[in-house]
Chain A
Amino acid sequence: MSLLKLEDITMWFGGVAALKNFNLELTPGEIVGLIGPNGAGKTTVFNIITGVYKPSRGQVFFKDQEITGMRPDLITKAGIARTFQNIRLFKGLSVLENVLIANHLHLKANYLTAILKLPGYWKEERMMREKSLALLERVGLADQRDELASALPYGLQRRLEIARALATNPQLLLLDEPAAGMNPKEADDLTEFIKEIQQEFDLTIFLIEHHMDVVLNISQRIFVLDYGMTIAKGKPEEVQNNPRVIEAYLGVDENVED
């Protein structure tokens, strides 16, 4: 059974095809990488999966249900969570609030019950808090729970963004360049962290990453995009040695200069 399936996706922006005939199938429990030079269409893939864009052509299926162009919040509810390339935390709110907000989609109490603070609402609020605190504890942000999200150091902001995505109870987690701007040590820690949460939360992970060490280490399969076309896919070692990838992504010029 496939968890996520993209069939023949094409996305036009004006006269430019950001993505051409893109196909993808993820099976539950995998970690799959998506790489490619800048502007190759990687984030476009994420935006199509999460409903930010409706593809010009093609279909998206999640657990065999079509979700093409569905409202983003409904897609999140269905079980797909994401992080963003340029961190999008709720900067003016506390670390705890950031995670609590991601619990809101599971709230059953309506707004009147919430305003009147009826027992039903209290129960849910308490559960949300317990769950959020446990999650913060797990990702190592419990001590900073009352700090503003914007006050966290960069690496922890990345971590909080992942924690926030986890709070929505996803089955599929999309990570958009989680190691961007990290030094090798931080990137290593992150790799371990991603592997751990993948096991603990029983996730399927699809990630975009420029850090080669991270992608090659973490992914079971890798897709390579260039100018909206899939130029290679397969196991890390296969992709690594694929001449088209080396040419398009790792760069021929650099090798010549060396």
Chain B
Amino acid sequence: MAAQKNNYRILTIVSLLLLLVFIGFAENHLDLYIVRILNVCAIYAILGMSMNLINGFTGLFSLGHAGFMAVGAYTTALLTIPPAIKAQIFYLAPLIKPLDQMNLPFPVALFVGGLLAAVVGGLIAAPTLRLKGDYLAIATLGFAEIIRVVFTNTQTITNGALGLKGIPALTNLWWSFGAAAFTLVVLLSLINSSYGRALKAIREDEIAAESMGIHLAKHKTLSFVIGAFFAGIGGGLLGNLLGTIDPKMFSFTFTFNILLIIVLGGMGSFSGSIISAFIVTIANEYLRFLDESIKVGMRSVVFSALLMFVVLFYRHGLMGANEFSWERLFGNKVYQKTLGRWTKRPRKGGYAG
């Protein structure tokens, strides 16, 4: 057992090194189109994990994610666009001081974006905490729309409906995968702590959780604030990847895409969200022909149908509420069968752990 554990540790280290080598290779040698898709994959993984914390782990059905992302994206963009370009973009009404002269390093800007999104998350959490299920979904959806409408109308800060252009392309694979890894580590650490157990208790039974001494408002707010923080970072990375953002981008459709990712990956599994973020993003590219050959919007039909299918017949998603581990992978029956066939030896559960 101990030797096996050691093997798994080596396997983990090797995989991480391979990932680093791959990122280094991809960043320098791969097609720009592919690099961009990989970036989007990692960003969606961040967004998926952060939404999963609120919806999957705490059991709060929130649909406000696009709002948090918008806050992060706008903040990071405004803090990284060089002053000269800002003057060009804001031709209808000038950007207010001191934002017009501000220019911060990318990681600092991302962090500030995350913090502001977290503040907004806290603000949304406060009045909606008493709501449950559908009512919470409606209220958070409304809040996200309010953020979008506010951004459309604050001409001197967000440039209104014109959006922001010329955002420096600072997001690269190192940043996006690095941020995804950071998100995963922090969220896993949270969920495996006593606070994480308290969040899961709220998901399982709110009344019982409260009668076990868990302060519901405090813990729900914690979940919202941390979820919103990482959504803000994801939004910031996305803005600086795409180069342009406008309020329309952050409509409900965006939240829906992330909802699809967490439902498909498994509510209550971060690794499920990551796997599913890659699947959905890549599938989204492969299915582009549907939009081109049949009708624009065909892809959404496919994804909506997929969501319905998962909810009806495969409710646990890819991972259920489990996290990825080598033990699980190698203990898997399908894997064992394939292994047995390849090595042409009768399997005796040697790998079953």
Contacts and interface: CB of A to CB of B under 8 A. Distances in A.
B194 A90 contact: no
A90 B216 contact: no
Contacts of A69: none
The interface centre, meaning the residue of A50, A90, A103, A109 with most chain B CB atoms within 10 A of its CB, is A90
Interface stretch (B44-52, B170-178, B199-207): B199-207
A76 B212 contact: yes
Q: Which of A104, A107, A168 has the most CB of B within 10 A?
A: A104
A115 B189 contact: yes
Interface in A58-108: 71-73, 76-77, 81-82, 84, 88-93, 97, 100-105, 107
A97 B199 CA distance: 12
A105 B219 CA distance: 12
B216 to A, nearest CB: 7
Contacts of B205: 88-91
A91 B203 CA distance: 10
How many chain B residues sit at the interface, stated as a range, is: 20 to 34
Interface of B is mostly: helix
Contacts of B241: none
Interface of A is mostly: helix
Interface string A9-36: 0000000000000000000000000000
A92 to B, nearest CB: 6
Contacts of B216: 73
Contacts of A76: 210-213
Nearest to A82: B211
A77 B315 CA distance: 37
A104 B218 CA distance: 13
A52 interface: yes
Contacts, number: 99
B119 interface: no
Interface residues of A, number: 36
A206 interface: no
A129 to B, nearest CB: 10
B194 A92 contact: no
B208 interface: yes
A132 to B, nearest CB: 11
A74 to B, nearest CB: 8
A164 B204 contact: no
A101 B193 contact: no
Q: Which of A71, A77, A88, A100 has the most CB of B within 10 A?
A: A88
B212 A115 contact: no
B186 interface: yes
A117 interface: yes
Contacts of B203: 92
Contacts of A73: 210-216
Contacts of A116: 189
Contacts of A92: 200, 203-204, 321
B197 A105 contact: no
Contacts of A90: 200-201, 204-205, 208-209
28 contacts: A71-B215, A73-B210, A73-B212, A76-B212, A76-B213, A77-B213, A81-B211, A84-B207, A88-B205, A90-B208, A90-B209, A92-B200, A92-B204, A93-B200, A93-B201, A93-B204, A102-B212, A102-B213, A104-B194, A104-B214, A105-B214, A111-B190, A111-B193, A111-B222, A114-B190, A115-B186, A128-B194, A164-B212
